[in-house]
Structure 1
Amino acid sequence: MGEGLHPTAVVEDGARLGEGVRIGPFCHVGADVELGDGVELKSHVVVAGRTSIGTRTTVFPFASLGHQAQDLKYRGEEASLTIGSDCMIREGVTMNAGTEGGGGETIVGNRCAFLANSHVGHDSRLGDGVVLSNNVMIAGHVSVGNHVIMGGGAAVIQFTRVGDNAFVGGLAGLENDLIPFGMVMGNRAKLNGLNLVGLKRHGYPREEIHALRAAYRELFESGEGTLRQRAEALSGAHEAGTLVRRVTDFILADSDRRFCTPDPDA
């Protein structure tokens, strides 16, 4: 078992532990769990099911990772939870495995931070560098891009997409897709401009930020045509990979939700 295992911890036969894994008091690790090199479970952590945790991720007390989906349609089918490397998972965090209807897996990227009592629902997919503040609730089948930040108590309804570098304000209730680099506030959440702080922090070129601001005005402040028509026109005027194209590609992709837009009365 190794020197990093506390005598009160339970590690079931079959669990795979990497080099330098530390498992603290009263933790329970299931038989189908894989912990990468340098993973630390502080204490009272439960890791169940077919769960994989990437290298150097730290899990704090009373987190519950990999138990079956909170979905009444779940019938015991094989499912998994995959968590990336260098994540911080704080007290009371819950993450559920997937379901057959959602592809069977929940996936969390690298270098993410999950603050106390936040939740990641079944079949959700989170990118790298995501931050969920305290009590954030991510429902099932949600897609979250890279470097997204969600303020305390925010809630995201099932099947919603959140684009890269978006910001969701505290206590916001997000029920529609949020464009990359967008910022929303309120319950129900309304688009409140671009996440300019995040754009600057990530060092995007100034000229691309200016182009994105102009595109935002064209998309959401112009009365000509539908949102899709405006996105199609902008897409044809900008090269692939630019900030503008990342937004228009997001809008033009298939989705189960409408888009979060500004409050017309604001």
Structure 2
Amino acid sequence: MAIHPTAIIADGAQIAPDVEIGAYSIIGANVSIDSGTWVGPHVVIEGHTRIGKNNRIFQFCSLGAMPQDKKYAGEPTRLEIGDNNTIREFCTFNIGTAQDGGVTRIGNDNWIMAYVHLAHDCQVGNHTIFANNATLAGHVHIGDWVILGGFTSVHQFCHIGAHAMTAFSSAVAQDVPPYVMAHGNRAVPSGINAEGLKRRGFTAEQIRNIRNAYKSLYRKGLSFDEAKAEITAQAAEGRDELALFVQFFDTAGRGIIR
């Protein structure tokens, strides 16, 4: 275990033998860090926080602090971080609240740039990229492969579907469906993330089906219920890539961007 002599590790912390911890970092008693993870200097990890394998956590991050929520009364809620994540400088991730599931969760292989804030009870999937200063309010859900442009702000309880993308300085106040690109304040749809889908191996036919679903949602003048029914029917014809739309429509809660 390569722990700098100036680091402070509380009794009870569970640290794998090969974890590296930099100068002046502070690790709380209820923290667990799995093998292969590197913690830079001046990092504070507290609360009931579990960190998986092979993460890189850069200097001046604050992970597992109590939520910025006046209702929080000291409940033993949690922060869970998966494997192979990069978390750059000055990021702040809070634990969850008893009013939700009690856990803030980040999946695997996420690339989190400097000054990103994840508030209480956020749920972040896998393979995401959050550019500098992206900010999530409480209870936000982010799907796999989402890209958030720098200075993107997401309103509490919003959902952003898998493979979606926001432009820089987007203010997201409603749900962003899967595959959709959004921009502006307030964020509006601006097509599908076709280039990202190509890079991830989607076929030309799959991308065409997704584009047609986007047209049903945004270009045909249909009501949301009419568009939902049309996309559901398309998915039922064996266009499996559209299942993400159907699942998203059933779980999203703030109404989609229009």
Q: Same fold (TM over 0.5)?
A: yes
Aligned counterpart for 1:14 among listed residues 1, 12, 15: 12
Q: Aligned letter for 2:235?
A: H
Which residue of the partner structure matches residue 234 of structure 2? 237
Q: Aligned letter for 1:178?
A: V
What is the CA–CA distance in structure 1 between the aligned matches of 2:147 and 2:251, rounded to whole Å? 23
The alpha carbon displacement at 1:233 in A equals 2.5
Aligned counterpart for 1:85 among listed residues 83, 86, 92: 83
Which residue of the partner structure matches residue 254 of structure 2? 257
The alpha carbon displacement at 1:245 in A equals 2.5
Q: Does 1:47 align with 2:45?
A: yes
- 210-219 vs 35-44, which deviates more? 210-219
What number of residue pairs does the alignment pair up?
257
Which residue of the partner structure matches residue 147 of structure 2? 149
Contact 1:147 1:165 in 2 (8 A): yes
The alpha carbon displacement at 1:19 in A equals 3.0
- 35-44 vs 209-218, which deviates more? 209-218
What is the CA–CA distance in structure 2 between the aligned matches of 1:56 and 1:206, rounded to whole Å? 35
The alpha carbon displacement at 1:234 in A equals 2.3
1:114-170 CA deviation, whole Å, 9 max, x = no partner? 111011110000000111110110111000000111111010000000000110110
Contact 2:13 2:31 in 1 (8 A): yes
The alpha carbon displacement at 1:211 in A equals 1.1
Q: Aligned letter for 1:52?
A: R
Unpaired runs of at least 5, structure 1 = 262-266
SS at structure 2 position matched to 1:231: helix
SS at structure 2 position matched to 1:245: helix
Which runs of structure 2 are paired with 1:108-147 in the superposition (5 Å)? 108-147=106-145
What is the CA–CA distance in structure 2 between the aligned matches of 1:22 and 1:66, rounded to whole Å? 19
The alpha carbon displacement at 1:232 in A equals 1.6
What is the CA–CA distance in structure 2 between the aligned matches of 1:147 and 1:160, rounded to whole Å? 17
What is the CA–CA distance in structure 1 between the aligned matches of 2:44 and 2:239, rounded to whole Å? 41
Which runs of structure 2 are paired with 1:208-227 in the superposition (5 Å)? 208-224=206-222, 226-227=223-224
Aligned counterpart for 2:192 among listed residues 191, 194, 204: 194
Q: Aligned letter for 1:141?
A: H
SS at structure 1 position matched to 2:3: coil
Which runs of structure 2 are paired with 1:59-78 in the superposition (5 Å)? 59-78=57-76
SS at structure 1 position matched to 2:99: helix
Which residue of the partner structure matches residue 58 of structure 1? 56
What is the CA–CA distance in structure 2 between the aligned matches of 1:18 and 1:124, rounded to whole Å? 26
Which residue of the partner structure matches residue 182 of structure 1? 180
SS at structure 2 position matched to 1:82: strand
Contact 2:31 2:46 in 1 (8 A): yes
SS at structure 1 position matched to 2:64: strand
Q: Aligned letter for 1:87?
A: N
Q: Does 1:32 align with 2:30?
A: yes
Unpaired runs of at least 5, structure 2 = none
What is the CA–CA distance in structure 2 between the aligned matches of 1:30 and 1:102, rounded to whole Å? 24
TM-score, with structure 2 as normaliser: 0.97
What is the CA–CA distance in structure 2 between the aligned matches of 1:167 and 1:109, rounded to whole Å? 18
TM-score, with structure 1 as normaliser: 0.94
